[in-house]
Amino acid sequence: MFERKLVSQLVNRMQEPRKFIQIVEGPRQTGKTTAVLQALNKLDIPQHYVSADDPTLNSLEWIRNEWQRARLLSKDGDAILILDELQKIEKWSEMVKLLWDEDSRNHCPLKVIITGSSALLLKKGMKESLKGRFEVLYCTHWNYQECKDAFGYSLDDFLLFGGFPGSSSLIQDEERWVCYMREAIINPTLTQDVMLMDDIRKPALLDALFALGSIYSGQEVSYTKLLGQLQDVGNTVTLAHYLDLLSDAGVITGLQKYANSPISVRKSSPRLLVYDTSLMSYHYGTNRRSLLNHPAERGHLVESAIGAYLLARGKEEGFGVYWWRDRSEEVDFVIQKGSSLTALEVKSGRIKHTGGTLSFKSRYPHALSLIIGSSDVSVEDFLLGKQPLFLE
């Protein structure tokens, strides 16, 4: 069975002395539980795995009882407790904080892994109660290299069907693929994650924003224009908040312009970007094949794939992802890690002005510039991770 990098990361951390709770965070259907189970199979340490999936069992007292069972395994040394789908229990983080702190005071060597299908609800608990007690391991969407190695994807397969492993066996039957995307990913993300996480007063607006934002992925769209397209009487603040929630859920985000001034960043219109290109092709409906064959639409699809790749690596490696424009000069992506800065222009089939990189370099001479889709860096090689992102 194919193993992602997350598996070795978990194994290494479980072999360390007890330090922090390990929280595995990521969008739905990206293989969090599978990676945890693969890691456990490599560890010769007593383990207690439980899931809060059963609604008749999950409660704060259930957490205490399962934790106590795991403590019994740690009487003679290290043991591991795995709490899966924990976000389903209200106020779970308060109980975890209480029990973890008890173990710290009593020098109990019990190590803890927490996973959940709702990144939003996990984040809420982490922020509320567990500050200073956890580390996050990210389970991002699968990249092209992983899909190529695990499923034999071509570049066009990956561009159109994205990086959800559960859908890989369905790409030859697009009707089944569409049903999987709708029932396993899109509907649960909206109804079980976002709408339960926050007071969504306009669920139809949220749903429409997700669909329209996916179609416009790779493009700058002002909030005012979005409201006009959505034919809603809401305000731009509401729309920006909903976009933040969709970003936290790992489906679509709004990239901000790169600027030295934080005020300029906040005032700028977002460049919409899906976290996985399957969300874009899903919302194109029966016209999705045009994304591969029409130069302009393929251009937005390729740019979205590059952007999603950068977002995933940025989350894991700790760098920011932006875009840049000054009047008519534009750069597709700007990434920054500390003092290192890189401008990336994507040549992806659609005709566009390419002077933005030179203009950006004139303002930021220390920046590295890359043209993806050129003879030096092909789109495929870039998505396979063959190009360093920053100057050493």
Q: pLDDT digit string (tens) for 67-119?
A: 999 999 999 999 999 999 888 888 889 999 999 999 999 999 999 999 986 66
Categorize the per-residue pLDDT at 268 as very low, low, confident or very high, splitting at 50, 70 and 90.
low
pLDDT in tens, 302-331: 999 999 999 999 999 999 999 999 888 999
Compute the average pLDDT of residues 174-189. Answer: 96
Report pLDDT for 85.
Answer: 84
Mean pLDDT of the chain: 90
DSSP secondary-structure letter at 111?
Answer: E
Give DSSP secondary structure letters for 300-343: HHHHHHHHHHHHHHHHHHT-EEEEEEETTEEEEEEEEETTEEEE
Bridge-partner residues for 24, per DSSP?
Answer: 115, 137
pLDDT in tens, 152-167: 999 999 999 999 999 9
The mean-pLDDT minimum among 23-32, 119-128, 306-315 falls in 119-128
- From CA 39, how far away is CA 37, in angstroms rounded? 5
Spell out the domains of the chain, with CATH numbers in brackets.
5-138 (3.40.50.300), 144-383 (no CATH)
- pTM confidence score: 0.92
Report pLDDT for 180.
Answer: 98
Nearest C-alpha neighbor of 29 from the set 199, 275, 273: 275
Categorize the per-residue pLDDT at 195 as very low, low, confident or very high, splitting at 50, 70 and 90.
confident
Categorize the per-residue pLDDT at 369 as very low, low, confident or very high, splitting at 50, 70 and 90.
very high
